[in-house]
Amino acid sequence: MDALAPADSAGLENLGRADCFALLRTVPIGRIVFTEAALPAIQPVNFVLDGDDVIIRTGWGSKLAAATRSAVVAFEADQYDEDALTGWSVVLVGRAEAVGAEAERARLSTLGLTPWALGDRPHYIRIRPEIVRGRRIRRPAAL
């Protein structure tokens, strides 16, 4: 585990890079943020990590595939326990690219990423994170 950075101005614990990726590996759904018609768009996606890269699957011609061809995107995943008043959020920012090489798509198909959305999803998108930020909220000691 990373050494923890001080809390931010809201009292949330800053997470190190390794902790961020460890937490991402515990959830199956995240959100990709991209630009559509010059406006921000957010779409939930299931994903898998390939090293530190986020891998998602999409269908041909989807808005998501068109929007993320070499575009800078954000990816966010989180978890919150309402009863325990604990949770975390991780945000990655990086360039998304379509995976074109057949050998690489075949390798990615072995990672166990099965789309939840209906329809054929034969294409892969890789997000290579350049910025990694995470925050954790812990139950206040006074409660």
pLDDT tens-digit series, residues 2-18 = 454 566 666 789 999 99
The set of residues, in sequence order, having a beta carbon less than 8 Å from that of 54 and lying 6+ positions away, is 24, 30, 47, 48, 75, 92, 126, 127, 129
CATH number of 13-137: 2.30.110.10
Q: What pLDDT shows up at residue 5?
A: 56
Short-list 71, 52, 46, 55, CA closest to 107: 55
2-16, 44-58, 120-134: least confidently modelled range: 2-16
* Three-state secondary-structure class, residue 20: helix
Instruction: Provide the token pair at 110.
Output: 């072995």
pTM, two decimal places? 0.86
What's the mean pLDDT when you consider all of the chain? 87
Instruction: Tell me: pLDDT of 139 over 80.
Output: no
**Across 65-69, 89-93, 136-140, which has the greatest mean pLDDT?**
89-93
